[in-house]
Structure 1
Amino acid sequence: MKSTAKNEAAVKASFIVAEEIAHASKSFSEGAFLKQCMLKVCEQVCPDQLQTFKNVSLSRNTIVDRVKELAENLTTQLAEETRSYTAFSLAVDESTDNTDTAQLSIFIRGVKSDLSITEELLDVAAMHGTTTGQNIFDAVEKSVLGMEDIVTTVMKTVNFIRARGLNHRQFQQFFLEMGSEHGDVLYHTEVRWLSRSKVLKRFFELRKDIALFMQSKGKLMSELSDPKWMCDFAVLCDITDHLAQLNQKLQGRKQVITQMSDTITAFQRKLDLWMWQVKQDNLVHFPVCQSMSASFPETFSCAQLATKLSWLKTEFDRRFSDFRAQQSGFDIFANPFTTDVCTAPQHLQMELIELQSDSGLRAKFQDATIQDFYRLLPPGLMPQLRLHAARVLSMFGSTYLCEQFFSIMNLNKNKHRSRLTDDNLHAVLRIASAQDLKPDIDTLNMINR
């Protein structure tokens, strides 16, 4: 290999390694360690290529520079791609890193002329001294259910068990000696509220063992022997479990908002059913409450549970009012062959008649997914329907990508990397959160040779 070619290969290799480091949320200094490993392997496998491997620069400064260049390349690609969007929407969310700096993420969801969907990080900004609105389910926790005191008690106990290594080992041994079917409790610090569902459920299952263990540590938990507190805890367990199941259905990339709207509507109908059943003292869909009602029939209040459910329904109705405002447009998108042409927007009426009269397209509608179906529409003959579909497809239905983004952020800016600058953090996050875009390493290699 000629000298120029070797240099190009060395530079390209440094870009490839830098991208892998960013994707894996590793420290920039990992590059130097990786190079040491590479050289050791090379000495054994291909000693004649040792100098070639030595030419690959993987120092911390080089990795920092490469990561910034990769991120800038992705930014340039995204700017170019957004010009082809027929429609787009933004998802905005905020969370704090481990230095209490609020980081604002902005994702863009765009639809191209062929109705293909892309989702990418548009920007991330450090909001020093500034905060924004909170996630809907965090708000539900604070303004509806009014049970934060129960959550706090449970989390303090779990963290006491897990945060201290000795206590945790003793706890595992304690469970082993007692023959408990559970070997541990799930750990939770300060992640999103709905992720607490499993912790709450496990805590309830282990409540007797936990009470004995805490007593052995001189920390009496009077709450676990208080019927009123336990009944409230049961309500919280069951409701958070239902919310967690809903949340799981709303997660995932490139979901169509009309389908998410259907999921929300189904949950609201479930709330109506649950309220009616609970008022009849029927707890069939609330198993933890059912067990507490059997243990403390004089204490457990179905009326209180019904009230909580009523508050929850009111909160959902209020927070998802935007879905209702868009329902007419959603119905046209999801059910174009059965929608009432007379009540449809006038600019769509002629094309809807043509569509509903086309037996071939009607047959294809039965077999294709909703987003794929609209790609079958003739662009020249039904431009308004395609544009309407593009606008609906462009809508974010949740902040799922933001949630993923903040998980990656916490992996990168942890207690061991608290001095990571915002610029370097943002460069890493852009690479690690890239969805469909990939850095053009060949172009970058040509620039750097």
Structure 2
Amino acid sequence: MVRTVCGDDIANKLELIPLSDNTVKRRIDLMSENILKHLVHQVIAANKFSIQIDESVDIQNNAPLMVFIRYRSTDDFREEFLFCEPLLTSATGLDIFNEVDGFFRKNNLDWSTRAIQPEFYSVLQDVIQIVNFIKARALNSRIFHAMCDEMGSQYVNLLYHSDEKLSQGKIATFALLSEFLEDSTKVTLNDLKLLLQKYLNKLQLELNRYIPENVELSKYNWVRNPFEVSVHEVGEDICGFQEELLDLQASQVLKDNFSRMCLTQFWAQLKDKPIVSREFENALLPFPTTYLCEAGFSTLVVIKTKYRNRLDAQHDMRCALSMNIHPNIEELVEYVQHQGSH
């Protein structure tokens, strides 16, 4: 409009006038929110993902928690910056979990959790806080040791549950529990042992599922090259797996694709083999690039300097670190003023 009314000279001079700092910040925030929206949609569509988490200390002595996410897209496995939020107090496992859990709930991401029996939930929260406090520093452990000595306790170190101790009925370490069982007429030690053993067995099964012991790496040879393995040597315990792998090996098109694509691209673009897809996702998703968080903290050091130490750098970092998702400018300009009112 200015070019039409006033001519090219005036219009060119107006283009040289920079936007205000507030306007630039609003534009960065909008682009970051747009990137996050598209990222969340892709992660929800992928259904499965893994995350890489790390925390450090910035120029203002805050403790930023940085999270990257790895998921399967339509054409490859992608790794993207998810969020960076400061931990306001301590940096224990519970604090980190609560921060991640809050972000996932806010953005409607499926944070799969296992239900814990209500009898143990409140007790577990107290135990987590106590253990984190005692084990956080060597001084706390020494004070705890000295306090137990002064109280005449038979045990002076922090002990953990084990099936052997539970089966032997050694609960003297837990004074309140012992006192409760002595005074209770409805709950016996055997009832408590059965309840605890049932819960611990379930917990052991979950740990074995997430972190299996004695994994035979040879059973994943088909992931590295599905065309050079014998179908009879892999996937015998997975219903339908060998049939789908055999169909894959018989396809000349897929063989040509494997020869010209990188490994993750080939598997990500495989659409019609649901059982094989599930298995290769389980094999490839848990291993994001190791230096993602380190690169993120390097970017944070560049963006949040001593001259900008009050900056909330999360939106700036998302725009800088987003590798595959870019802001949809056409979508943004539909509802954003060229210059906001001041």
- With the shorter chain as reference, the TM-score category is 0.5 to 0.7
Cα distance in 1 between the residues matched to 2:288 and 2:238: 27
Question: How far does residue 331 in structure 1 lie from its aligned partner after superposition?
Answer: 2.1
Cα distance in 2 between the residues matched to 1:401 and 1:100: 22
Label 1:412 to 1:330 Cα distance change in 2 as closer, same or farther (>3 A): same
- Provide the residue aligned with 2:224 in structure 1: 334
8 A contact 1:342–1:349 mirrored in 2: no
Q: Does residue 325 in structure 1 map to residue 215 in structure 2?
A: yes
Label 1:372 to 1:435 Cα distance change in 2 as closer, same or farther (>3 A): closer
Q: For 2:70, what is the secondary structure of its paired residue?
A: strand
Q: How many residues align?
A: 216
Q: Which moved more, 1:321-330 or 1:75-84?
A: 321-330
Cα distance in 2 between the residues matched to 1:441 and 1:359: 41
Q: Does residue 433 in structure 1 map to residue 326 in structure 2?
A: no
8 A contact 2:68–2:293 mirrored in 1: yes
Deviations, residues 144-183 of structure 1 (Å, cap 9, x unaligned): xxxxxxxxxxxxxxxxxxxxxxxxxxxxxxxxxxxxxxxx
- Provide the residue aligned with 1:399 in structure 2: 290
Q: Does residue 389 in structure 1 map to residue 280 in structure 2?
A: yes
Q: Does residue 60 in structure 1 map to residue 11 in structure 2?
A: no
Label 1:323 to 1:111 Cα distance change in 2 as closer, same or farther (>3 A): farther
Cα distance in 1 between the residues matched to 2:83 and 2:230: 38
Deviations, residues 288-329 of structure 1 (Å, cap 9, x unaligned): xxxxxxxxxxxxxxxxxxxxxxxxxxxxxxxxx979737356
Q: Does residue 118 in structure 1 map to residue 78 in structure 2?
A: yes
8 A contact 1:90–1:396 mirrored in 2: no
Label 1:355 to 1:116 Cα distance change in 2 as closer, same or farther (>3 A): same
Question: How far does residue 3 in structure 1 lie from its aligned partner after superposition?
Answer: 5.8
8 A contact 1:93–1:132 mirrored in 2: no
* % identical equivalent positions: 27
Q: Does residue 411 in structure 1 map to residue 302 in structure 2?
A: yes
Q: For 2:65, what is the secondary structure of its paired residue?
A: strand
Question: How far does residue 409 in structure 1 lie from its aligned partner after superposition?
Answer: 0.5
Amino acid at match of 1:111: R
Amino acid at match of 2:336: N
- Provide the residue aligned with 2:170 in structure 1: none
2:238 to 346, 361, 379: 346
Cα distance in 1 between the residues matched to 2:327 and 2:25: 15
Amino acid at match of 2:319: I
Amino acid at match of 1:395: P
Cα distance in 2 between the residues matched to 1:81 and 1:351: 26
Question: How far does residue 402 in structure 1 lie from its aligned partner after superposition?
Answer: 0.9
Cα distance in 1 between the residues matched to 2:66 and 2:91: 12
Q: Does residue 75 in structure 1 map to residue 28 in structure 2?
A: no
Deviations, residues 254-286 of structure 1 (Å, cap 9, x unaligned): xxxxxxxxxxxxxxxxxxxxxxxxxxxxxxxxx
Cα distance in 2 between the residues matched to 1:416 and 1:354: 61
Q: Normalised by the size of structure 2, how large is the TM-score? A: 0.54
Cα distance in 2 between the residues matched to 1:104 and 1:326: 34
Q: For 2:55, what is the secondary structure of its paired residue?
A: strand
- Provide the residue aligned with 1:308 in structure 2: none
Where do 1:45-194 residues align within 5 Å? 47-50=9-12, 52-53=14-15, 58-112=19-73, 114-131=74-91
Would you tell me which structure has more helix in proportion to its own residues? Answer: 1
Where do 1:256-405 residues align within 5 Å? 325=215, 327=217, 330-337=220-227, 338-339=229-230, 341-344=232-235, 345-347=237-239, 348-358=241-251, 361-362=254-255, 365-366=258-259, 368-374=261-267, 377=270, 379-380=271-272, 382-405=273-296
Where do 1:195-214 residues align within 5 Å? none
Q: Normalised by the size of structure 1, how large is the TM-score? A: 0.42
Amino acid at match of 1:123: F
Cα distance in 2 between the residues matched to 1:335 and 1:115: 18
Label 1:328 to 1:86 Cα distance change in 2 as closer, same or farther (>3 A): farther
Question: How far does residue 365 in structure 1 lie from its aligned partner after superposition?
Answer: 4.2
8 A contact 1:98–1:418 mirrored in 2: yes
Structure 2: runs of 5 or more not aligned: 94-210, 338-342
Label 1:365 to 1:97 Cα distance change in 2 as closer, same or farther (>3 A): same
Question: How far does residue 103 in structure 1 lie from its aligned partner after superposition?
Answer: 0.8
RMSD value over aligned CA atoms?
3.4
Amino acid at match of 1:444: L
8 A contact 1:86–1:387 mirrored in 2: no
Q: For 2:319, what is the secondary structure of its paired residue?
A: helix
Cα distance in 2 between the residues matched to 1:354 and 1:90: 32
8 A contact 1:88–1:391 mirrored in 2: no
Q: For 1:119, what is the secondary structure of its paired residue?
A: strand
